[in-house]
């Protein structure tokens, strides 16, 4: 019988200390090596409070191509043939705000240990696959609100950056001294696993079969991380693209800051600096001539003033989605042909459906990416027949080029969402 391990167990050797994961039964993870072409991109625009549904969702009786865009989605009218609006998709969760970080995984952080990839989000799955092909495998951004939707497979929430930080990351080269320091750190990098190899081997022999699998997986993830560090080394000396515009001034209000952020996202895609982006947007008191807080407006109780405020905030978010579509449509795609929009999937969505803490019927709109669009897709509302929103996430990943059969809580790809011929 194997001895019981203390939770605070470490591998120590050569001055290196490597903390160990929680060792428990785990279904082994398998992943086929994906083809890398064509080059695809993914952008997710979100907020933390959902939408006012009466102004967001088309009439449920208007399914298919013949539907009217409601007030909040009106800015997308000129792009109607290039978007798909979904009704009755969700992750089957309850808990109000607890649904916010579930948007791109389908898995609550608290339930992540029970899934092979934890609550890994779509953008970070893509980032893993892209690796060091680009300077930034992913960009996690925010405007006036925390970005809570991006998670690694180790269940770590990816920190986000603001408008000025993004500009500097994309276009401002580090000072020579900082570059030299970064280069030295990479050159001095020595494999942690090589240092603790003997102790790791001895430790492995003392584990049961299930924990041995878990331990092997953990060591593989550490080795993968080390490989990523190695692959990133060439980017230290590689010059960044020349800035096509001056650094934007932040703090000019939600509408201006969000527009500037969208412009930088378009430039990041145009310069192939990244392939995966998430952006959470919020609201600052005084914007749009409104007095109050986003959270306060979201608890509207059907009061006219609060509802009107939500409509203004949410319509601006959709207007910025329309602006991103326009920017990408104007740019040729030198790798794939066509435009950048043709090969960039843009998802607007929220992990909490409404400010009244409902997680049912998430607001979801998909544009571009090479999908066949132009419809309002209405899925079954009945409990037993409901379709997981994670099926949409799986479809996005498959379209991106990843050969995966399941993602998070998916049961398959999303029926009815087809790739354009």
C-alpha–C-alpha distance, residues 157 and 100, integer Å? 12
pLDDT digits (tens, 9 = 90+) for 7-46: 445 555 544 445 454 444 333 444 333 335 689 999 999 9
Nearest to 296 by CA among 307, 288, 287: 307
Is the pLDDT at 191 greater than 80? The verdict is no
Give me the residue spans of the domains in the chain. Answer: 38-173+248-400, 175-238
pTM of the model: 0.80
pLDDT digits (tens, 9 = 90+) for 233-267: 555 667 888 888 888 888 889 999 999 999 999 99
Q: What is the mean pLDDT of the chain?
A: 85
pLDDT digits (tens, 9 = 90+) for 103-119: 999 999 999 999 999 99
Q: What is the pLDDT confidence band of residue 50, given thresholds at 50, 70 and 90? A: very high
The pLDDT assigned to 29 comes to 44
Mean pLDDT of 279-305: 94
Q: Which fold has domain 38-173+248-400?
A: Alkaline Phosphatase, subunit A (3.40.720)
């Amino acid at each position: 019988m194997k001895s019981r391990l203390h939770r605070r167990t470490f591998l120590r050797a050569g001055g290196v200390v490597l903390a160990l994961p929680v060792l428990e039964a785990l279904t082994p993870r398998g992943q086929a090596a994906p083809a890398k072409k064509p080059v695809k991109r993914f952008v997710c625009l979100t907020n933390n409070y959902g939408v006012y549904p009466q102004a967001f969702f088309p009439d449920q009786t208007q399914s298919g191509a013949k539907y009217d865009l409601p007030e909040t989605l009106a800015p997308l009218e000129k792009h109607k043939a290039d978007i798909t609006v979904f009704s009755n998709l969700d992750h089957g969760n309850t808990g109000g705000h607890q649904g916010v970080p579930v948007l791109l995984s389908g898995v609550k952080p608290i339930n992540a240990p029970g899934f092979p990839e934890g609550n890994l989000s779509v953008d970070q799955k893509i980032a893993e696959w892209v690796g060091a092909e680009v300077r930034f495998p992913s960009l996690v951004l925010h405007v006036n609100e925390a970005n809570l939707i991006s998670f690694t497979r180790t269940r770590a929430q990816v920190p986000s950056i603001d408008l000025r930080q993004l500009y500097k990351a994309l276009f401002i080269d580090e000072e020579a001294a900082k570059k030299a320091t970064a280069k030295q750190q990479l050159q001095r990098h020595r494999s942690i696993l090589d240092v603790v190899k003997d102790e790791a081997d001895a430790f492995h022999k003392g584990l049961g079969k299930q924990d041995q699998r878990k331990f092997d997986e953990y060591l593989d993830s550490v080795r993968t991380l080390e490989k990523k560090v190695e692959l990133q080394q060439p980017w230290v000396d590689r010059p960044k693209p020349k800035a096509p515009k001056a650094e934007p001034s932040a703090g000019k209000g939600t509408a201006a800051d969000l527009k500037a952020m969208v412009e930088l996202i378009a430039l990041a895609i145009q310069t192939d600096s990244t392939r995966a982006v998430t952006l959470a947007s919020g609201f600052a008191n005084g914007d749009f001539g409104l007095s109050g807080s986003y959270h306060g407006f979201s608890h509207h109780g059907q009061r006219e003033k609060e509802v009107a405020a939500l409509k203004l905030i949410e319509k601006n978010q959709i207007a910025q989605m329309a602006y991103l579509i326009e920017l990408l449509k104007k740019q040729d795609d030198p790798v794939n042909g066509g435009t950048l929009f043709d090969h960039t999937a843009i998802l607007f969505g929220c992990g909490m459906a409404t400010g009244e803490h409902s997680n049912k019927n998430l607001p979801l709109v998909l544009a571009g990416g090479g999908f066949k669009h132009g419809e309002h897709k209405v899925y079954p509302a009945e409990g037993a027949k409901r379709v997981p929103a994670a099926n949409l996430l799986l479809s996005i990943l498959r379209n991106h080029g990843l050969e995966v059969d399941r993602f998070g809580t998916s049961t398959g790809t999303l029926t009815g969402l087809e790739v354009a011929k």
